[in-house]
Structure 1
Amino acid sequence: MDLFEHQARELFQEHGVLVPRAEVVDSPRAARAAAERLGGRVVVKAQVKTGGRGKAGGVKLAADPAATELTARQLLGMDIKGHTVHRVMVAEPVAVEHEFYVGYVLDRAAGRFMAIVSAEGGMDIEDVAARRPEAVARIAVDPAEGVTEAKAAEIAAAGGLPPETAATIHRLWTVLVAEDALLVEVNPLVLTSDGAIVALDGKVTLDDNARFRQPARGDADDDVARDPLEARAAAAGLNYVKLDGHVGVIGNGAGLVMSTLDVVAGCGARPADFLDIGGGASAQVMADGLSVVLGDPDVRSVLVNVFGGITACDAVADGIVRALDTVTLTKPLVVRLDGNSAARGRAILAELAHPLVHQADTMDGAAARAAELAA
């Protein structure tokens, strides 16, 4: 789960990382009041879960409270890379002497974390990494050993950062471990004119699989900024990701769903979603999943591809029938059932005799039919 900048900075504060004073608001009038409390001259920053805000015009300096109100009015509702700005952060400005980049990211291939640091942080860090890769240091971190104070000093030196950044580098590792994060990034980490090391921005991605260990982070979700279908699916406990195609895809098991996406693409169509009902899904889960997918206006046809194991195919068929009791089916539904109780599941759908429900014997045949119906 990605966090907004203001959520990341709250974690930083809890673990001793210095950040500028700031307030998060959702209206121009509230932005003006925040600027008055922060001294008048402020930085107004759009809160969206994507990078490149500065280049997109989502970070602006305001000279006084009146200018802050006007700036907030411009930013609220703005679209940045497909993300709508619902809130802005009003922060006190900082006198910057030098900008650095510091980040920790999970290196899945190596099975450990990687510290990434550069003495040339800021908006152009991607260009620096592309043009002069030697300016960006990458240091492996053994998760069993972690980042000690000595290791933090080694990381700072490898990136050409001054020794006084080591304490913050160490604290950022504490953030990653304590919060079960997969990514912790500060760009820029700055040296101020009075010698302080301050995180001017922050990006944190938390591990969804560790939520049970982080009950206090339950309020980190943001259903306002979240895709409504993804929020609805999450509320039903479904693994759903919205995609940009027209064939809705439902399957049981991540591997089967991924394979189904590939087969649909191979038939010349684009999947509209990834929805995994899981290995032990009930009829109710199937009904919930179908309801979510049919709620997507981009979907032109739906493909249900289930291999019965723990989830018996007759339970899947019952779920489809139950969903059609509450959802009006206006789009073709192609169903492929195989495995445990497949014959009984097919019979249930045959008895339903719905004109928009089609059955197929193979995954390839089902995908081809769904692609044809979506064309």
Structure 2
Amino acid sequence: MDLYEHQARQLFEEYGILVPRAEVTDSSKKAREIARRLGGRVVVKAQVKAGGRGRAGGVKLAADPAATELTARQILGMDIKGHRVRKVMVAEPVEAAEEFSVSYVLDRATGGFLALASARGGTEAGAAAVRRPERVARVPVDPAEGVTSSKAAGIAAAAGLPPQSVDTLVRLWQVLVREDALLVEVDPLVRTRQGRIVALDGRITLDRNARFRQARWGVEHTEHDDPLEAAAAARGLTYVRLDGEVGVIGNGAGLVMSTLDMVAGRGARPANFLDIGGGASARLLADGLSVILSDPSVRSVLVNVFGGITACDTVAEGIVQALDTVRLTRPLVVRLDGTNAARGRAILDERAHPLLEQAATMETAASRAAELAGEG
């Protein structure tokens, strides 16, 4: 269950993480009043559960209350990647000396978490990560140990974040654990000229299995705006829709994120994040393929699985059964590695679907999926 930015901001504030002063409204006239209370010059931000709001025109600076009313009127009602803007957040602007990005994400393959951090943040962070993936630090976090001050200092050092960020890294971990979250992300996390660390944006995904402890948000606040994300959630899938053309399925958050980077590095854009976890059953694969193929922007699909607890031959059998359930309408590239990989590849060879092909490595699989997407 994804929270809106203003809800994530509320949690950050409750846990002692610095955030800009802000208020939320569904009225352009009230936006004008909020701007007056905040000092006049503000940032107006569309409240939708989608990335790329800035590029879509959903985040704008307003010089004064009158401009704020006009800007809010322009943003309210916009359609951003299929999400209708019903509310805006009006926030005080913050001048940043440096921008970073930080997130904690569940890694189902290892049964732990990953800390992902970069000394680059903001709208160009994704492109920078593709050009220089080594700049994104990926630090495993043992759930039993958690993120202590010492662990946070290690994450900051690995990513090139300033020492002042350590306390915020610890507090973000507390949000993840105490609020039953699967993902906590801040991009950008900034250092101001005065040396303060401030979260300018936030994204939180809550674990639906802990819904009984999350009544504070209400059903209307945790429903998915995007119909594909809603369909995936109903099937128990960890799915996030992106704006690309290569559908991605993997087992484990770390592997999926590496696959997204690999696809982007081959000149294509990933269409989604989909983690089927360690138990890659036929039902999960069928549901995952069904959701991805329902996205009209998808031109090819990449399944990248490393066999561990679930062996590759079991995964291959699941893919075969899924193909009997789901009509494959776009090319499917499969890479299997790990336990019983040879047997798994043989099973897929026997299936011999005209749109199914295999790749020996993640690199060749990503290249082929990108090539097929380019061919349309």
Relative to the length of structure 2, the TM-score reads 0.62
Please name the residue that 2:330 is paired with: none
In structure 2, the residue matched to 1:165 is: 165
Give distance in 2, aligned partners of 1:21 and 1:14: 13
Could you tell me which residue of structure 2 aligns to residue 113 of structure 1? 113
Greater relative contact order, per chain length (Cα 8 Å cut-off, separation 6+): 2
The answer to whether the 8 Å contact 2:235/2:287 transfers is no
Which residue number corresponds to residue 69 of structure 1? 69
Question: Distance between the aligned counterparts of 1:261 and 1:174, measured in 2?
Answer: 33
Q: Give 1:122 shift.
A: 1.0
Residue identity matched to 1:198: V
**Distance change in 2, residues 1:365/1:2 (3 Å):** closer
Cross-structure match for 1:139: 139
Q: Is the 8 A contact 1:7 1:220 kept in 2?
A: no
Distance 1:5 1:264, change over 3 A: closer
Per-residue displacement from partner, 1:170-226 (whole Å, max 9, x unpaired)? Answer: 100000000000000000000011211000000000000111233334356256947
Quote the offset at 1:42 in angstroms: 0.2
Counterpart in 2 of 1:9? 9
Q: How does 1:7-86 map to 2 (within 5 A)?
A: 7-86=7-86
1:85-122, CA deviations, whole angstroms, 9 ceiling, x for partnerless residues? 11100000111111011111111112210001111111
2:123 is matched with which residue?
Answer: 123
**Deviation of residue 230 (structure 1)?**
5.8
Query: Hey, what's the Cα distance between the residues in 2 that align with 1:221 and 1:179?
Result: 15
RMSD: 3.3
Kindly provide the amino acid, as one letter, of the partner of residue 51 in structure 2: G
Aligned residue in 2 for 1:196: 196
**Structure-to-structure mapping, 1:241-280, within 5 angstroms:** none
1:258 Cα offset (Å): 5.0
| Matched AA of 2:141 | V
Structure showing greater radius of gyration is 1
Q: Deviations over 1:100-158 (max 9, x none)?
A: 11111111112210001111111111111110011111100001110001111111111
Q: Residues 62 and 71 of structure 2 are in contact (CA less than 8 Å); yes or no, is this contact kept in structure 1?
A: yes
Gap runs ≥5 in structure 2: 242-279, 296-321, 328-376
Please give the alpha-carbon distance, in whole angstroms, between the structure 2 residues aligned to 1:122 and 1:98. Answer: 10
Q: 1:263 to 1:29 in 2, by over 3 A?
A: closer
Residues 212/222 of structure 1: CA separation in 2 closer, same or farther (3 Å cut): closer
CA distance 1:110–1:62, change in 2 (3 Å): same
Q: How many pairs align?
A: 261
After superposition, what is the alpha-carbon deviation per residue over 1:233-276, rounded to whole angstroms, capped at 9, x for unaligned?
Answer: x9xxx759999xxxxxxxxxx967657669999xxxx779xxxx
Counterpart secondary structure, 2:24: strand
C-alpha change, 1:177 and 1:263, in structure 2 (3 Å) is closer
Provide the TM-score with structure 1 as the length reference: 0.62
In 1, are the aligned partners of 2:83 and 2:226 still within 8 Å (CA)? no
CA separation of 1:92 and 1:144: change in aligned 2, threshold 3 A: same
Partner of 1:213: 213
Amino acid at match of 1:192: T
Contact 2:224 2:230 in 1 (8 A): no
